[in-house]
Amino acid sequence: MASRNRNPVERYVAALKDEIVHAARTYPRAPMPYAAIKLSNREQMQQYVAMRDNPQEWAKLLREQGLYKTLAYMNEMEGRYADSGIRDES
């Protein structure tokens, strides 16, 4: 009897929750986690140089990794960048 008195929005929320749970249980699993493949130092540097002056890439990294991990990454890669001898062409 309590189910007839439920707010209509609660029915939609319950239905959406059930769909999300079903999708999570039946969605195919990746063979390995995203970004689980270890890049070589050279590949890491190439990837960093490509994103280094791109604000959209930094914004994406901030959204995905958060401030502290992004700053740690930047600090590590800037150190490697300085040691690599790669020079800005700008």
User: What would the pLDDT profile of 36-83 be if each residue is shown by its tens digit?
Assistant: 678 888 899 999 999 999 999 999 999 999 999 999 999 999 999 988
Q: What is the pTM of this model?
A: 0.55
Backbone angles phi, psi at 36, to 5 degrees: -85, -15
How many alpha carbons fall within 13 Å on the CB side of residue 81? 16
C-alpha dihedral (84, 86, 87, 90), degrees to nearest 10: -130
Q: Can you spell out the DSSP letters for 28-79?
A: PPPSS-TT-SPPPHHHHHHHHHHHTT-HHHHHHHHHHHHHHHHHHHHHHHHH
